[in-house]
Chain A
Amino acid sequence: MKLKRPSIPYIFWMVIFTLIPIVLILYSSFTDRNGNFSFEAFSKAFGYYDVFLRSLWIAFISTLICLILAYPLGYIMSRQKASVQNTLTMVIMIPMWMNFLLRIYAWVTLLQNDGPIDIMLSLLGIHTTLIGNQGAVILGMVYEYLPFMVLPLYTVMAKIDKGLIEAADDLGSNKYIIFKKIIFPLSIPGIISGITMVFVPSASTFLVAQYLGGVDDIMIGDVIDRIFWSDQNTGSAIALILMVAILVFLIILNFFGDEEAVAT
């Protein structure tokens, strides 16, 4: 590997802010409070396996919903005039300019008892509690991370050569075939980066569940947040397990992506 001089500051940056922190986390997850080598932190960390599973599940569902919502939107956007495309991108970006916590507060206000949505539903005769359950947490996640799914999908689809579609059309392909043979395969890189950008942060997020969930909806990010102050070793071990889980997920995803790319 040949390194060019302009890359030196970035390597420096990576070592200080990525490599060293990871080594520190590794160190503290394999030691106990007194600094001796120990697996205690891991055995404690696995005590939270149900929270791990729940977090990965919530992240998975949120990612799936984001994908289902974002895919058609990305496609529609990519077929518009340039000016309309820019406006739509802007509209999708605007909520992201707002502070993350404020957006969650806004959902609390919208969903709470006697809040606007609750009043509308009760006028329709539906009486239910909207907040304090897993559904509300997933809603919050989807809202939070949808732009991260839409933007890569849209970018990739906007780059699809229109000539390919016209050629297929001329040669007698119907819309389904065009989608199956051209649009979908060419949008796979967008799907993969969208899934990565939604799944990874939503698996490790915290606070969303604390605000929108009920007594049972704590996520692994919240556990790390709480445990870390009193027990850094277990906190590090949990973080490490989460990192490994995400890494495995990404490897599987990339493998899947490559295969698809080869198939076409």
Chain B
Amino acid sequence: MKKFFSAFIALAIFVSCAVVMSSCSGGYDGEINVYNWGDYISDGSDDYLDTIKTFEEEYNIKVNYTTYETNEELYNILSSSNSSYDVIIPSDYMVEKLIDEGLLQKLDYSKIPNSKDLMDNFKKPSYDPNGEYSVAYSWNVTGLVYNKTMVKNKKPDSWEYLWDKDLKGSILQFNNNRDAYAIAMQLCGITPDKFSKKDVDKATVKLKEQKPLLKKYVMDQVFLEMEKNQSAIAPYYAGDIYTMMLNNENLVGVLPKEGSNLFVDAMCVPKNASNVDGAHKFINFMTRADISAANSSYITYASPVKSAKKLLDKDLRESELVYPPDDYLKKCYTFHNVDDETYSYMQEQFVKLMS
């Protein structure tokens, strides 16, 4: 009798759980799994628009939103597990790699009418030359930030200042192989959009020269280092430099005269997506001017949507760091995919450099 009773209780708990769970998801007409960079969407904090919630309300589709920290992490998850994502937002070179390896599916642009509003250079970008697999989400360039009280009356305007002996001990460098190598390659006269092992070796020599002058290799720590007057000069993403400058008036952001890396993150649909229709709706929604503008003001990178620019704050829209002028963009390059061997060779050299 006792056994029967406990079995009954267990069943009752199971049933009630099932009822609760089904009633939670039951209100929606479906769901999509979105995989994006961490902190890369307007999420409702600090009076910004909660874009995901708005999408869920308008389309009645539930969004399961998860994040990653690097393109390589995204690639590994996508290529080696059975996880099913409907929308992913990799960077330029990773889009190219995913297309090459057949991990993306072609988009039906008739279901993404807002894509007509993309800036012309993002309609058939170099990483997706026929414009079949991706819709740009956000773009920006790399730049330099320096603290005008700490650079000994110099006016840094070139990547060379990251090798300046007078600033020894207060220079920062990217803690990210592609970005660090790109700067070193530019100074070695190599255009870093594509590179070989030989180019990596040349840049490694350049980076080795820099190491004794450096304070640290940083990523997110750069905010603390620069905003709290801990370091004199650092390379970083120009849109983030814009944010740093709002928090410390001693900081100056510049676009280096050699040109820099124009990076684009673009929305794609993996081959094994389970809700392709929902994915198209999501991409179309994120490309709508007001939504793209909301995301752009939150992450302070430029929006690829033409009519979104007008909706942005004047300061943001007119900042050269967020929207670099066209003649500067001519000097910029976009990363292309390099083969696995060269890539892991670069990573190996970079880690060795740091050890």
- Do A229 and B73 touch across chains, with their CB atoms under 8 A apart? yes
Closest CB-CB distance, A163 to chain B, in whole Å? Answer: 46
With A33-B340, A226-B347 in contact, is A51–B72 under 8 Å at CB? no
Residue of A nearest to B212 (CB): A215
Q: Using Cβ atoms and an 8 Å threshold, which residues of chain A touch B340?
A: 33, 230
Given the complex of chains A and B, what is the CA–CA distance between A54 and B76 in angstroms?
30
B211 on the A face (CB < 8 A): yes
Q: Are B230 and A47 in contact (CB under 8 A)?
A: no
Question: Is A21's CB within 8 Å of the partner chain B?
Answer: no
Chain B residue numbers with a CB within 8 Å of A234 are: 348
Asked whether A226 lies within 8 Å of B351 as measured between CB atoms, the reply is yes
Which residue from A108, A215, A223 sits with its C-beta under 8 Å from B351?
Answer: A223
CB of B2 closer than 8 Å to a CB of A: no
Tell me the B265-287 residues at the A interface (CB within 8 Å).
none
Stretch at the interface among B83-91, B121-129, B221-229: B221-229
A211 touches B221 (CB 8 A): yes
Q: Are B228 and A112 within 8 A (Cβ)?
A: yes
Complex interface bits, B167-211 against A, C-beta within 8 A gives 1, otherwise 0: 000000001000000000000000000000000000000000001
**Does A169 touch B at the CB level, under 8 Å?**
no
Per-position contact with A for B336-355: 1 when CB-CB < 8 Å, else 0? 00001101100110111011
Contact assessment for B351 and A132 in the assembled complex, using a CB-CB cutoff below 8 Å: no
A115 to B73, CA, bound (A): 35
- Chain A residue numbers with a CB within 8 Å of B350 are 226
A interface footprint on B97-116 (CB within 8 Å = 1, 0 otherwise): 00000000000000000000
A153 within 8 A of B: no
Interface: A175 (CB within 8 A) = no
CB distance from B250 to the nearest CB of A (A): 13
**Which residues of the other chain, A, contact B73 by a CB distance below 8 angstroms?**
229
- Choose one: A51, A132, A210; the contact of B355 (CB below 8 Å): A51
Q: Which residues of A contact B343 (CB under 8 A)?
A: 230
User: A218 to B228, Cβ gap below 8 A?
Assistant: no
Judging by beta carbons under 8 Å apart, are B354 and A48 in contact? no
Residues of B281-303 at the interface with A, using a CB-CB cut-off of 8 Å, are: none
Q: When the two chains form their complex, are residues A215 and B217 in contact, meaning their CB atoms are under 8 A apart?
A: yes
**A-B pairs under 8 A by CB, number:** 61
A interface, how many residues as a size bin?
20 to 34
Q: A132-B216, A215-B211, A215-B214 are in contact. Are A112 and B230 (CB under 8 A)?
A: yes
Q: Hey, which chain A residues are within 8 Å of B347, CB to CB?
A: 226-227, 229-231
Determine if A166 is an interface residue (Cβ-Cβ < 8 Å). Answer: no
| B70 at the A interface (CB under 8 A) | yes
Check A210 against B211 for contact (C-beta < 8 Å): no
User: Considering the chains assembled together, what is the distance between the CA atoms of A132 and B348 in angstroms?
Assistant: 23
B215 within 8 A of A: yes
**Inter-chain contacts of A44 with B (CB < 8 A):** 348
Q: Check B344 against A47 for contact (C-beta < 8 Å).
A: no
* Interface of chain A residues 61 through 102 with chain B (CB within 8 A): none
Contact with B along A42-57 (1 / 0, CB 8 A): 0010011011001000
Question: A214 to B354, Cβ gap below 8 A?
Answer: no
| In the complex, A113 has a CB within 8 A of chain B | yes
The reply to whether B344 and A231 contact each other, CB–CB distance below 8 Å, is: yes
CB neighbors of B among A222-246 (8 A): 223, 226-227, 229-231, 234
Q: Please give the distance in Å from A86's CB to the nearest CB on chain B.
A: 36
Q: Which residues of B contact A50 (CB under 8 A)?
A: 355
A108 in contact with B348 (CB, 8 Å): no
Least CB separation from B211: chain A residue: A215
Q: Which of B216, B221, B230, B352 contacts A214 (CB 8 A)?
A: B216
B354 touches A215 (CB 8 A): yes
Interface residues of B in 306-355 (CB under 8 A from A): 340-341, 343-344, 347-348, 350-352, 354-355
Nearest CB in chain A: distance from B253 CB, A: 22
Contact of A114 with B by CB under 8 A: yes
- Alpha-carbon separation in the docked complex, A54 to B175 (Å): 20
* Chain B min CB distance to A15 (Å): 20
**B348:A218 contact, CB within 8 angstroms:** no
Chain A residues lying within 8 Å of B354, measured Cβ to Cβ, are: 215-216, 218
Nearest CB on B from A33, distance (A): 7
State whether A113 touches B230 (Cβ < 8 A): yes
Contact B344 A48 (CB under 8 A): no
CA distance A218 to B211 in the complex (A): 13
Residue contacts A-B, CB under 8 angstroms, 5 given:
A114-B228, A214-B216, A215-B215, A218-B355, A230-B347
Which 3 residue pairs across A and B have the least CB separation, nearest first?
A: A229-B72, A230-B344, A230-B347
Binding site for A on B (CB under 8 A): 70, 72-73, 76, 175, 211, 214-217, 221, 224, 228-230, 340-341, 343-344, 347-348, 350-352, 354-355
A contact residues vs B (CB 8 Å cutoff): 33, 44, 47-48, 50-51, 54, 108, 112-114, 132, 210-211, 214-216, 218, 223, 226-227, 229-231, 234
Instruction: Given contacts A47-B352, A112-B228, A229-B76, list 12 more A-B pairs with CB under 8 A.
Output: A108-B221, A113-B229, A114-B228, A210-B221, A211-B221, A214-B215, A223-B351, A223-B355, A227-B348, A230-B343, A231-B347, A234-B348
